[in-house]
Amino acid sequence: AQRVTQPEKLLSVFKGAPVELKCNYSYSGSPELFWYVQYSRQRLQLLLRHISRESIKGFTADLNKGETSFHLKKPFAQEEDSAMYYCALSAPGNTPLVFGKGTRLSVIA
Amino acid sequence: KAGVTQTPRYLIKTRGQQVTLSCSPISGHRSVSWYQQTPGQGLQFLFEYFSETQRNKGNFPGRFSGRQFSNSRSEMNVSTLELGDSALYLCASSLVPGRETQYFGPGTRLLVL
């Protein structure tokens, strides 16, 4: 079965420092990977997906099939990046989206 | 387009009662998924519906059930509530199932006393 692991429950960084939120997955095929974000008092929303290869709000994520990872990165953290971040995997076929347990990012001024 | 809506937003129930939560997807979206969100477990998948058919079910007891109507609106029901059912229940919709972006509602916060 597919599994998504986010090893850090909480990540605290200073404003202006680089950020890397880790995501590892277990799936042998070709998954679709997503990062969803939940800001305080807002609904969960898509941040980015690997197939689009976009940079959203300065965040990027690269799918590394060899290491089965999809880490989320931003070179300079901003206070407004403080939120809960979830990595998610979608496998082909009749399977639901699988979420990691999330990482709370706290950017300290 | 209006986003995903969920009603009610807040509920307080006592153990043993049952509850029904409602979700209206984005217009044109035919796939609806339900999740339970708790601080300890994060997002746990409950069900996925498409065209009134349940495509997938998560690892939850039979007390949790759901359905989807012809207009794609969905309901989930929890019978014989337990304290551990206290959580935020999220609904998400997408055009079709599969590798589509899911759009989430604000959630229904259920407190079981």
pLDDT of residue A30: 83
pLDDT of residue A53: 74
DSSP code at position B101: P
- Comparing CA positions, the residue from B36, B32, B35, B20 lying closest to residue B69 is B32
Q: Is the dihedral of CA B61, A93, B69, B43 positive or negative?
A: positive
Q: Which of B90, B97, B99 sits opposite A44 (nearest CB)?
A: B90
- Summarised one tens digit per residue, pLDDT across range A60-99 is 998 888 899 999 999 999 999 999 999 999 988 878 889 9
- Summarised one tens digit per residue, pLDDT across range B73-94 is 999 999 999 999 999 999 999 9
Mean pLDDT, rounded, for B58-71? 96
The Cα-based distances of B88 to A5, A59, A60, A106, B59 in angstroms read 21, 27, 29, 22, 17
Distance between CA atoms of residues B69 and B89, nearest Å: 19
Q: Which of A43, A86, A96 sits opposite B33 (nearest CB)?
A: A96
Are residues B104 and A98, on separate chains, in Cβ contact within 8 Å? Answer: no
* Number of alpha carbons in the 13 Å side-chain half-sphere of residue A51: 10
Q: Are strands A60-61 and A72-74 parallel, antiparallel or unpaired?
A: antiparallel
Distance between CA atoms of residues B75 and B73, nearest Å: 7
Q: If pLDDT is split at 50, 70 and 90, which confidence band does A1 have?
A: confident
SS (H, E, C) A1-17: CCEEECCCCEEEEECCC
Distance between CA atoms of residues A55 and A52, nearest Å: 9
- Summarised one tens digit per residue, pLDDT across range A17-64 is 999 999 999 988 888 999 999 999 999 999 999 887 778 899 999 888
**Which of A42, A43, A103 to mutate: most B Cβ within 10 Å?**
A43
- A55 touching B (Cβ < 8 Å): no
Are residues A99 and B42, on separate chains, in Cβ contact within 8 Å? Answer: yes
CB pairs under 8 A between A and B: 50
**B37-65: buried (b, 16+ CB within 10 Å) or exposed (e) per residue?**
beeeebbbbbbbbbeeeebbbeebeeebb
Q: Which residue has the tokens 């690269």?
A: A62
